[in-house]
Chain A
Amino acid sequence: MKKLMLGNEAFARGLYEAGCKVVSSYPGTPSTEITEEVAKYDEVYAEWAPNEKVAMETALGASIAGARSFCGMKHVGLNVAADPLYTAGYTGVNAGMVIAVADDQGMHSSQNEQDSRHHAIASKVPMLEPSDSTECKEFVKLAFELSEKFDAPFIVRMSTRVAHSQSIVEMEDRQELGLKPYEKTPQKFVMMPAYAKGRHVFVEERTKKLIEYAETTPLNRVEISDKAEFGVITNGAAYQYVKEALGDKASVLKLGMVNPLPEKLIQDFAAKYEQVYVIEELDGIIEEHCRNIGVNNVKGKEIFGYIGELPQSVIAEKLLGEKKEFSALEDNIPVRPPVMCPGCPHRGLFYCLKKLGVTVSGDIGCYTLGAAAPLNAIDTTICMGASISGLHGFNKARGAESEHNTVAVIGDSTFMHSGMTGLVNIAYNNSNSTVIILDNSITGMTGHQQNPTTGKNLKGDPAAAVNLEELCKAIGIKRVRVTDPYKLAETEAAIKEELAADEASVIISRRPCALLKYVKHNPPFKVNTEKCVGCKMCMKLGCPAISMRDGKAVIDHTQCVGCGICKEQCKVGAIE
């Protein structure tokens, strides 16, 4: 049966068909749907882990135990999981293990644009890279076989365009595999120096064998065109752009295995043409490899650069000098940036922080939007968990001056991911810091995933729920309180009090995400135009449901969910 599938959905189908038994992941755009989709198959155990390190260790444990296993994450998640990755490269596997890492060329939903191929090279773990949904499924299945054949975990590198584009996939049946026998083999799985030295020798030998495999594998494919004037070496999503832009004007070497790279295959292909272009998004890894193996008739980064995606228009313009015609209006078209939703519980909190003029150490999630106009409330956003540890450092550097005027904001899921350890540091190293946990009872930005605080697991079944208040107290924070961000006066007072206190405190700003299905909304509010004086106090909240028409505020009834913070904000009682 043929079906249109997202790359991520096809990836999940590949996991299912390959007989994968254990899946552990942490959500992150653009990788999330792989795990959500595979969780729909009853034959596969699938879970959300609190972070990517835990997920990868779980998957490795399952592989050692004899089950084909998987963990998925976004590019920055692989940094968190780098510790187990680099040593899993040494231990290898028992049953096959596949890791998905999804890069975000163009930074559609990420804080950096790192190229995850560097991790594969540095950890000496092989990496495949599909370029459409069909390949996602095929490559995943092959990755499990190769993982067992070469005794290595295999990374499959995704990108936003491959993960979030649907193309046609032919579905096949699941291959049901029993557990492989588990035998105690400390020389393979106990990585203390005496055994690890032996495994490093194995890893180097394995890489040589993988390079031999890369020379002949159908993953790496030469497409010769009789009309070609030059050659192109490419990978991943860029392959599709190359084919679209150049058609039969170029012969193409498509690399589906991006670590390790073949040598002779590239040398032979490049020898056929006077000029070869390497078209790869982000870093020049294939291009540098070409030069390292004595292939010098290549050009790449000097033409295409290191930033963003390389869609067909870029390739057509740079290599063929072709540009498409188009028309545009003369009007200035205002940008439409993403905003906090109407009724978002984060809005009230950020409004109070802005009003108090507080320095805010931010984190990763929907609440990063608190940095945007008109709230402009966030000072820093670095990576998962950095709000709390960064605040501690900020306060240690500036002392009392910042202790009473600086807070960290972090979501419930991000706190479980890697915020807790920062809070331990605050308690342990006696820092007078104020941490605000924005508990909206869900992992919001990636599209509503359960997490250890929500009381439900990935499959939606009841699960143990972390009690944030008790956890913070157990860590050693004495001042822990809960506020409702829909109540502006109460929230503002709580922030003032905790900032004034001479010890560490945690405010749990608690209100479920307004998009959650179980959240009941109030009827929309209306503006009484006779009372409205046009002072724009309500506009300071940055609610997309409120706008000004003819000097008076107007509330869009299709958007308003009746959260009421504008009503509290209105000093003339015009919002009813």
Chain B
Amino acid sequence: METKSIMIVGVGGQGSLLASRLLGNVLLAQGFDVKVSEVHGMSQRGGSVVTYVKYGDKVYSPVIEKGEADAVISFELLEAARCLPYLKKGGHLITSTQQIDPMPVITGAAQYPENLVEKLRAAGAELVAVDALALAEQAGTAKASNVVLMGVLAARMDYPMELWQKAIEQCVPAKFLELNKKAFELGLSAESV
């Protein structure tokens, strides 16, 4: 199979590393060659965080560049807009509707763009927008919106559910397992706004 590329993007602290590892484990169990690329260090401190997941018969570059992503999964709306250029023509964009103001907006140096969901849809992206934060809080903690979005993704990929369940067990600490499983299920059944 030709290499497929999925970008997972968000704001430092939202748990994109865990999501990318979870997805990587599912794809590994499915028998693909897999590469997952993360950025550590300074970028994690509330900045834009981008991770790349690539899979296929043989994956070379761990990096995804503009026009290459089959899917972008975003934990935050502005980050979804920022990463739109990475999406292939006809690629899928899954985003949380959560908005977190970046420092230039907080200081008043810039505006948070309005009506991003409508604009992203108008730009031709196959858009799925869900309130992952509300669903995560429904599962028990705001921190689980990463796993909610993996549920949203899982519903649109054709891999056995037990692979996802097993990957969640591998990646999540035991004491948060039930909570995350619930978050995943809420994501699975979530409809786009």
Contacts and interface: CB of A to CB of B under 8 A. Distances in A.
A binds B: yes
Interface of A: 2, 4, 6, 29-30, 32-33, 108-109, 132, 160-161, 164-168, 240-241, 243-245, 309, 311-313, 324-329, 331-341, 366, 368-369, 372-374, 445-447, 536, 539, 542-544, 546-548, 556, 558
Given A243-B61, A556-B100, 4 more contacts: A326-B84, A327-B84, A327-B124, A335-B102
Interface stretch (B44-52, B146-154, B155-163, B180-188): B44-52
A312 B37 CA distance: 15
Contacts of A338: 12, 42-47
Contact of A109 (B41, B59, B81): B41
Contact of A336 (B34, B61, B102): B102
B142 A558 contact: yes
B104 interface: yes
16 contacts: A165-B35, A166-B35, A241-B61, A326-B84, A327-B85, A327-B124, A331-B81, A332-B113, A334-B78, A334-B102, A337-B103, A340-B45, A374-B103, A445-B41, A536-B108, A544-B46
B119 interface: yes
B60 A240 contact: yes
B40 to A, nearest CB: 6
Contacts of B124: 327
B106 interface: yes
The 4 A-B residue pairs with the shortest CB-CB distance in the complex, in nearest-first order: A324-B67, A109-B41, A29-B41, A338-B47
Contact of A333 (B40, B61, B78, B107): B78
B103 A341 contact: no
B45 A334 contact: no
A463 to B, nearest CB: 25
Interface residues of B, number: 63
A333 B81 contact: yes
Interface in B1-47: 11-13, 21, 24-25, 28, 33-47
Given A29-B42, A334-B110, A161 B21 contact: no
Contacts of A32: 40
Nearest to B12: A338
B42 A167 contact: no
Contacts of B68: 324
B89 interface: yes
B65 interface: yes
A544 B105 CA distance: 10
Interface in B110-148: 110-113, 116, 119-120, 123-124, 133, 142
B46 to A, nearest CB: 4
